[in-house]
Chain A
Amino acid sequence: MNFRFSFRFAAVALLSVAALHAQAPATAVDPVVMLRAAIDEVMAVAYDTKATMPLVERARPVLAKYFNFESITRRAVGPGWRQFTPEQRQRATTLFTDLALRTYANRFEAGDRPGITYAKPVMLDPARPALRELPTTIDYAGKKYTVSYRVEQTAGGWQIYDVNIEGVSMIANWRAQLDPIFQSGGANAVIGSLEKNLSQEPVK
């Protein structure tokens, strides 16, 4: 079974993070324009061979520009978010941003540059016109992967809040882990689990 589970998830996760962490400049009217800019900027940072700073620090400002980490954290926590105090929300967002950045930046290996094809945006739900799904195909190391980005229109323009690689949503994956922790220990347990994870050495 495991053998059918085979796609180069790790590599693509990286590339897509390239895309996951992005928030739109106010000028971008078309979400695809924002996504292209986000991916181009992240790739420029990731493939910068002269840089001396660690990738996680170089990528941070770029990703902070295109990704709405507050919204990502809220969705990753799920319904339990309503019971977080403003301070707890702030703390969880800071921790989760660090965790997301670290998770993906540490796995990046500069290899071949991927080719990306952008398809037409899809309206997710007519009742919620501010949300769109942006499907793309990533061509990496001879294989093709389906990666789609979920974006949301905010006062600051289009912002990315989820990346879905071959059907696996990052938000859903995080929520599957965080929700049981909230159910058993509340907001403090969620914050504690994020702190604990960040204090451990990253897995190579």
Chain B
Amino acid sequence: MKTLLRSLILCAAFAGVNVSGVFAQKTPAEADPELADEMDEYALVQVSDPLEPINRVIFRFNDGLYDYVLRPVAKGYTRVVPEPAREGVDNFFHNLRFPIRFVNSALQGKFKRAGLESGKFLVNTVAGLGGFIRVSDEVPSLAVLPREDTGQTFGVWGIGKGPYIVLPILGPGTARDTAGAVGDYFLNPLNWNPRGNLEWYTWEVQTSVTVVSVVSALPDVLAAYDAPRKDAIDPYIAVRSAYVQYREAAVKK
């Protein structure tokens, strides 16, 4: 209960930031039409980065952390656990996070998608042995459902990205996505704390499950992170640009 309260306060704090206008959508400067015609037919996604000096320090710190801690963990995991098992674990946690996708599809008014998500959840939970096998991939309409989350819902509601923020450990994000992550936290059944009801679900069990969910996600997350970073002229900007573009595209889907 205490955790819940604390998180609610955190939520409220983010909401406060929102009101104060930090989230105001930044309109990119009007491009010179002649230049635009010669150079580009699409505008580049912009993000404000008033914290750049601090962000760059944290970015460098994260680089070290990823190189010396997280990457070895991810490597160990892929070496020890065979591919089919890893896929099963990924599928299980993906299925478990169904409430995040369902609630946010509904909040964005995408009721058809919310319905499809429910069908996918049902099929995978029942026929896919609790979500370990993604049976839904056999159904074309269920195979390519874009993933929705709270940050995207805020975007659909017209809330601006806010400033770019690099957090220690967690990495790149915007103010909007950071607030969204709080929403996702509450929608993730892993954090529903059913300990009061289930005797066997001790804090040790809960912690272990959380650790497995994080470690199993690491290889993909690090690969995504490394793609723009490696060989970049300015890795900080490369990651920032990739992150912001990726999230903007996700909001539109």
Contacts and interface: CB of A to CB of B under 8 A. Distances in A.
Interface string A162-180: 0000111100110111101
Given A3-B217, A5-B246, 16 more contacts: A2-B172, A7-B224, A9-B227, A11-B223, A13-B227, A79-B35, A106-B231, A107-B227, A167-B249, A172-B45, A173-B228, A173-B242, A176-B237, A176-B240, A177-B234, A203-B230
The interface residues of chain A, by DSSP majority, are classed as helix
A189 B165 CA distance: 28
Contacts of A131: 41
A29 to B, nearest CB: 22
Interface of A: 1-11, 13, 74-75, 78-79, 81-82, 99, 102-103, 106-107, 124-125, 128, 131, 137, 142, 144, 166-169, 172-173, 175-178, 180-181, 193-194, 197, 202-203
B181 interface: yes
B224 A6 contact: yes
Nearest to A165: B227
A107 B146 CA distance: 27
Contact of A2 (B42, B221, B231): B221
Nearest to B227: A9
Given A79-B35, A194-B233, A167 B224 contact: no
Contacts of A203: 230-231
B143 interface: yes
Given A9-B228, A173-B228, A168 B41 contact: no
Contacts of B41: 124-125, 128, 131
Contacts of A13: 227
Interface string B239-253: 011110110111010
Contact of A75 (B39, B167, B252): B39
Contacts of A125: 41
Interface in B180-206: 180-181, 184
Interface string B203-237: 00000000000100100110111111011111001
Nearest to B149: A4
A5 B225 contact: yes
A168 B249 contact: yes
Given A6-B224, A81-B39, A106-B231, A144 B143 contact: yes
B172 A202 contact: no
B178 interface: yes
Given A1-B177, A167-B248, A202 B231 contact: yes
B242 A168 contact: yes
